Structure 1
Amino acid sequence: MRHKFLYSVAIIAACSLTGCGSDSPSGGEDPVVPPTPNPEPDEPTTPDDLVGTIYNGIKLPAQWPILRSATSDIRKGMSPFYLSTRPTTVNIAVGRQLFVDNFLIETTTLSRKFHYPEYYSGNPILSPDKDWEKTGTKGAAFAAPFSDGVWYDEQDQKYKMWYMAGGGSYSTNSGGITCYAESTDGISWTKPSLSIVSGTNIVDKGLQRDASTVWIDKQETNASKRYKMFQVAGGAGKWKYIYKTSANGIQWRDNNTPSQSVTDRSTVYKNPFRDVWTWSMRHNVRVNASDPYTVRARDYYENSDPANGNQNAKAELSKFWFGPWPNEQKHPKYNNNDGAPGIYNLDAIAYESIMLGFFSVWQGPENDVCSKDNVIKRNQIMVGYSRDGYSWQRDDMNPFMAVSDNRSDWNNGNLQSVVGAPLIVGDKLYFYLSGRRLEGTNEITSTGLAILRRDGFASMSGTGELTTVGIRFTGENFFVNAKVNGELRVEILDANGNVVSGFSKADCKVVKGDNCKAKVEWTSGKTLSSLKGQKIKVKFYLTDGDLYAFWISPESTGESQGYTAGGGPGLNKLGIDKK
């Protein structure tokens, strides 16, 4: 039986819930690519109806990317097809399995809660204090990633930030420049003196830049291309992606592969689950010729080769992807703007077994109203989740990182996400963002930090039971991320729902307390090694707690084999959670 769900901060899940939803190569280890699963016997694949099968068992439809209409779908957001056509068996060999949607759940009596990061008390962590960070001559200043990137580089054991600066006397046509900062803890940042422009931390100038994506490609085997930059430059009506590469993130080389026409605030991300790059292109869509406004939306393009893909990227309605969701939040004051709300930007990254999407949702007002009323446009950062890198699930419309209504606060308006986030720092996730405030009529843009528990986006909460769909795995050690006030027990079932001997609820050692990597064991002393490759189900019995994630690791120390987003201290340099 199917059930409809009401989502707010908590989702009450029905008991009978069903899923609805130089160019020399570098040395070292080979890049890790998720395995392609064998088709299920009861799920035949044919060239006519499939583009391919992702590692987790999701089968992509023949029309890929999925064809959508800017006319009919402009304000419908989107809903992942794979929640209603879920594979019979989900392969969980890669990464921690998060309960951000119903993909893994067969039945449950628990409730889903969404959680939000807390702002660091010392924000902003990076402010414009250099002459080359000034914008114009009236006192405005800018020192923050406009997507750009904050990463932890495991090779150098440093936190690294690329950000847009106002430009000062180095600006081209009033556009920004790109600067570099570094840190030993991700909180206190230094602006080193570099040789690109003597005495400054400038690493790129000479173009009228807008948004930029800086990606540390940790699976890249060519050392000279480990750092990739996709910079939107050229000016109004002339915006293009400029693709650059670097061996160190300081000296950049233009690959002479500019894109076709795009719009400002366009970005790029890598989907390692399918080994493709995605061009996330802003498109201001005028639905009807008579409309006095446009709707901020996105176009989609993918390619396995970043240089070739960049040359072919073009913002056009034949590539329409999505616009705002029907239930987006609106501006509390300027809520009669027909063009708002809209999707101002999307940045995305692989984290464990899913793609995280950070949506900068514009809620108004338009630039001319901002200027007249001396206010900052209201962009808040929302989060969404994808298991194919294209389809996005956004059940929670609350801001993941919110503006402050205090005009003097660093994040009073126009929040923008940062490429690379989150970084994994022990049991915490670090999210970086830009925010703006006004000094008189001048915007001051700086960089902030927000912190969340690892895997802490959503939890299945309360007292009750949860049974997964059929899964296959390659590890043998069972782990959970949970905060348990009462107790948690885990039971392993076979494909028919029968308890596997030695893995019953009664055999399970009780899990208690707050632990982001708690090992689950059974008194029988068995591991799951004997069940590798078999289809099983997992049943959780939770009393007064929050269950965030589970995974089955090949290591007794719990490495998940999932993707580590922007990286972190002590993690593998390949961007995978492995020894």
Structure 2
Amino acid sequence: MRKKRRPPAGMQLFSFRVSVLLAMSAAAGSPQGGNVLYNGIRLPSQWPPTGIKLSHEPLPDPPYLASPPDIIPIDVGRQLFVDHFLIEETTLRRTFHQAEYFAGNPVLRPDRPWELRRDGGGGAMPFSDGVFYDPHDRLYKMWYLGLGATLYATSKDGIHWDKPKLDVEPGTNVVHRGNRDSSTVWLDLEESDPQRRYKFLYNPGNMRPMILHFSSDGIHWGQPVAQSMKVADRTTFFRNPFRKVWVYSIRDHTPGVISPQRTRRPGEHVRFRTYAESPNIAAGLQWKPVPWIGADRLDATRVDLNVRPELYNLDAVAYESVMVGLFSIWRGQFKDREKPNEIVAGFSRDGFHWYRPSRRAFIPVSARHGDWNHGNVQSAGGVCLLVGDRLFFYVSGRSRAPGVIGQNSTGLATIRRDGFVSMDAGAAEGTLTTRPVSFRGKRLFVNANTEAGELTVEVLDQKGRAIPAFSRSQCIPVRADNTAQEVSWKNADLSSLSGRPVRFRFYLRYGRLYAFWVSPDASGASYGYVGAGGPGFTGPTDTVGTGIYKHCCASEILH
């Protein structure tokens, strides 16, 4: 049995404080409203919100952007610039980045008899399912859809995958037999009962109940624990650890719609999502969902299909201080190839309201006939893994097209850690000033690329004046490309400002700023969530900081 490393006393205390903060945010309330979250956002007393009216018009911006907290606590996670929640004023340019496909894709393809059809086609892809890193076994683990079964694969590096011979169906990697639609597996690192460490919500098909199973190893699934009411296909679930609830992302459709190819009536949704949540995953299956979100007129229409887009699926995960959502956007249906679904990114700070400022495909289909992802791309349960200084996104790809034997396989796309959005400057120096924030740590870190330029930071008091010990002139300039770069001042650390409302002002020239955070120790541990995990992390949050680089280097893996 491996010994667990005991974190330093200071890290233990800070981790305890963050846990208390999250627990308090889950319980705090007042007569004027509902719970106050870890980031200062107060939920309405009616939760989840009701009365959402879906139409072809975009939903309003999340209420926390229209009315942010007076003071934003930033003790949980890296602070990302995916919206203007943290920004009081800026002259920097916001850039949205796409994930990049791995050159060696697909990383998993059908090559076993139980994955292949007689014509040579077949399937080995996550249809949500799940891809996680298990810190106990130090393995990447993938559950995926084969032919009439759920299968299991493992990897030591996330690139080369093994299909172990198991005892469920001896000699195969089948872990659950049964025709199915999209289903979800979740590795729950916060579960206290080892027999329930893995959760599997099995979908036997459209308009049938989904069935919940538990497992201690992700291979041997116990008897059904609970089931939902009848539900449409492509229904999934995920964990919102900020609020300690399970969220059911339920596919719904407008009654009476027969053909998805016909012209939509104004304001009509065909595929959209409804929302339900529960702290108990089994009890929550008796859901009473509320309207949630759909595609709208800002989602691009393909000129070769000229069909109004729809929301096919939404998978999500907690990453650092936000929920990251991958929206599978349906753009129509060809007669002779797969529906060209693509993945668009969105972000939420309360777990319900989404901000989708860029509708460009975050992970697109290929335009090249015959490619593994020419037909259709969709997300995996768990959404993303954190591997060194890169985020890994595993996606399904479908290749069926005229003259091409259709295979469903698995590919990998990656992006810089925190790299969804950057705040950029060129030759002319730009600035970014945050809203008032508070923290308990003592060291400021940034994820930035200023190799060709420079970044300096000053700290402002409540009246907007630079605090002398933390003025720009006292800041040691940052000239580096680093996903965890400490920013320091000549004669002070931030511990003297602990608990005080302050603003940070960043000065940037020839560079990109992706995130900032305040950590209690020199490692830069953020105590934010790390998606579906990754090498070096011991649990669902970052308690090790730069210590993960001892365990892996994404650039070496990818090249």
Same-fold call, TM cutoff 0.5: yes
| Residues 37, 53 of structure 1: 8 Å contact kept | no
Structure 1 position 578, deviation (Å): 4.1
Aligned to 2:42, which of 59, 62, 69?
Answer: 59
Percent of pairs with identical residues: 44
2:286 counterpart of 1:305: no
| Residues 315, 383 of structure 2: 8 Å contact kept | no
Aligned to 1:333, which of 290, 300, 304?
Answer: 304
Q: Which has the higher strand share?
A: 1
Aligned to 2:522, which of 556, 562, 571?
Answer: 556
Structure 1 position 289, deviation (Å): 10
After alignment, is 287-296 or 538-547 more displaced?
A: 287-296
- Residue in structure 1 matched with residue 464 of structure 2 by the alignment: 497
Query: 5 Å matches for 1:487-526?
Result: 487-524=454-491, 526=492
Give the letter for the 1:412 counterpart. Answer: H
After alignment, is 355-364 or 283-292 more displaced?
A: 283-292
Aligned to 2:370, which of 408, 418, 426?
Answer: 408
- Residue in structure 2 matched with residue 358 of structure 1 by the alignment: 326
Give the letter for the 1:33 counterpart. Answer: S
Structure 1 position 74, deviation (Å): 5.6
Structure 1 position 566, deviation (Å): 1.0
In 1: Cα distance, 2:181 partner to 2:508 partner: 49
Structure 1 position 553, deviation (Å): 0.3
- Residue in structure 2 matched with residue 172 of structure 1 by the alignment: none
Give the letter for the 1:359 counterpart. Answer: F
- Residue in structure 2 matched with residue 447 of structure 1 by the alignment: 410
Give the letter for the 1:425 counterpart. Answer: V
- Residue in structure 1 matched with residue 102 of structure 2 by the alignment: 120
> Could you say if the C-alpha distance between residues 37 and 103 of structure 1 is closer, same or farther in structure 2, counting changes exceeding 3 Å?
farther
> Could you say if the C-alpha distance between residues 84 and 34 of structure 1 is closer, same or farther in structure 2, counting changes exceeding 3 Å?
farther
In 1: Cα distance, 2:122 partner to 2:69 partner: 51
Structure 1 position 313, deviation (Å): 2.8
TM-score (norm 2): 0.89
> Could you say if the C-alpha distance between residues 285 and 448 of structure 1 is closer, same or farther in structure 2, counting changes exceeding 3 Å?
same
Which ranges of structure 1 fall in alignment gaps of 5 or more residues?
1-25, 40-44, 167-175
Structure 1 position 33, deviation (Å): 3.4
Query: 5 Å matches for 1:137-216?
Result: 137-166=118-147, 176-205=148-177, 207-216=178-187
Structure 1 position 38, deviation (Å): 8.5
1:150-177: per-residue Cα shift (whole Å, max 9, x none)? 11111111111110102xxxxxxxxx31
Structure 1 position 132, deviation (Å): 1.1
- Residue in structure 2 matched with residue 105 of structure 1 by the alignment: 87
Aligned to 1:532, which of 495, 498, 520?
Answer: 498
> Could you say if the C-alpha distance between residues 392 and 194 of structure 1 is closer, same or farther in structure 2, counting changes exceeding 3 Å?
same
| Residues 320, 529 of structure 2: 8 Å contact kept | yes
Structure 1 position 501, deviation (Å): 2.3
Give the letter for the 2:466 counterpart. Answer: V
Structure 1 position 49, deviation (Å): 3.4
| Residues 53, 59 of structure 1: 8 Å contact kept | yes
| Residues 78, 391 of structure 1: 8 Å contact kept | no
Aligned to 1:278, which of 230, 233, 247?
Answer: 247
2:194 counterpart of 1:219: no
Structure 1 position 325, deviation (Å): 2.5
Structure 1 position 320, deviation (Å): 1.2
In 1: Cα distance, 2:437 partner to 2:29 partner: 23
Give the letter for the 2:203 counterpart. Answer: V
Structure 1 position 332, deviation (Å): 2.8
Structure 1 position 471, deviation (Å): 0.4
1:312-363: per-residue Cα shift (whole Å, max 9, x none)? 136x6xx21111122101123001x3xx300000000000000000000000
Structure 1 position 75, deviation (Å): 4.7
RMSD: 2.3
1:254 is paired with a residue of what secondary structure? Answer: coil
Which ranges of structure 2 fall in alignment gaps of 5 or more residues?
7-11, 546-559
In 2: Cα distance, 1:36 partner to 1:420 partner: 21
Give the letter for the 1:280 counterpart. Answer: S
Structure 1 position 223, deviation (Å): 1.0
- Residue in structure 1 matched with residue 219 of structure 2 by the alignment: 250
2:473 is paired with a residue of what secondary structure? Answer: coil
TM-score (norm 1): 0.86
1:295 is paired with a residue of what secondary structure? Answer: coil
1:253 is paired with a residue of what secondary structure? Answer: coil
| Residues 166, 173 of structure 2: 8 Å contact kept | yes
1:61-120: per-residue Cα shift (whole Å, max 9, x none)? 1222111345x5365345311100100010100000001100000010001001111100
Structure 1 position 421, deviation (Å): 2.9
- Residue in structure 2 matched with residue 438 of structure 1 by the alignment: 400
- Residue in structure 2 matched with residue 16 of structure 1 by the alignment: none
